[in-house]
Homo-oligomer: A and B are copies of this chain.
């Protein structure tokens, strides 16, 4: 069956909602490098709250993009790692990251030009 990307019920749109989660992308990118524990992520992802981290990790795990593994140490240790599926998504995300790095200046310049044009 063919889906209309612009319709709400479209599966692609559902995935776009996940993809459009800033924290999810940052976490995914971070886990792509190596498995990381909860509090370490909390420290490294600048600006994220414990609540959002917890919530985002749960979503990512539910989507099969990351894997949660708890070790029976005292106190408990939990390690989050990326899955094969998550890796493939991360690759496409990296394309966007590189675009941003390459074109950040151009966007910034456009903003300055726009603001000047509108002010007058």
- A63 and B104 in contact, given A5-B26, A6-B26 (Cβ under 8 angstroms): no
What's the number of copies of this chain in the assembled complex?
Answer: 2
The answer to whether A114 touches B6 (Cβ under 8 A) is no
Which residues of the other chain, B, contact A51 by a CB distance below 8 angstroms? Answer: none
Per DSSP, are chain A's interface residues mostly helix, strand or loop, or mixed? helix
The answer, among B5, B97, B111, for a CB contact under 8 Å with A62, is: B111
Residue of B nearest to A95 (CB): B92
The answer, among B12, B95, B106, for a CB contact under 8 Å with A64, is: B106
Sample of 11 further A-B pairs with CB below 8 A, known A19-B100, A64-B110, A64-B113:
A4-B46, A6-B30, A12-B100, A15-B103, A15-B104, A16-B22, A18-B107, A20-B20, A62-B115, A64-B109, A85-B110
14 pairs from A and B in contact (CB 8 Å cutoff):
A12-B100, A12-B101, A14-B104, A16-B96, A17-B22, A19-B96, A20-B20, A63-B111, A64-B110, A64-B113, A65-B107, A65-B110, A92-B99, A93-B96
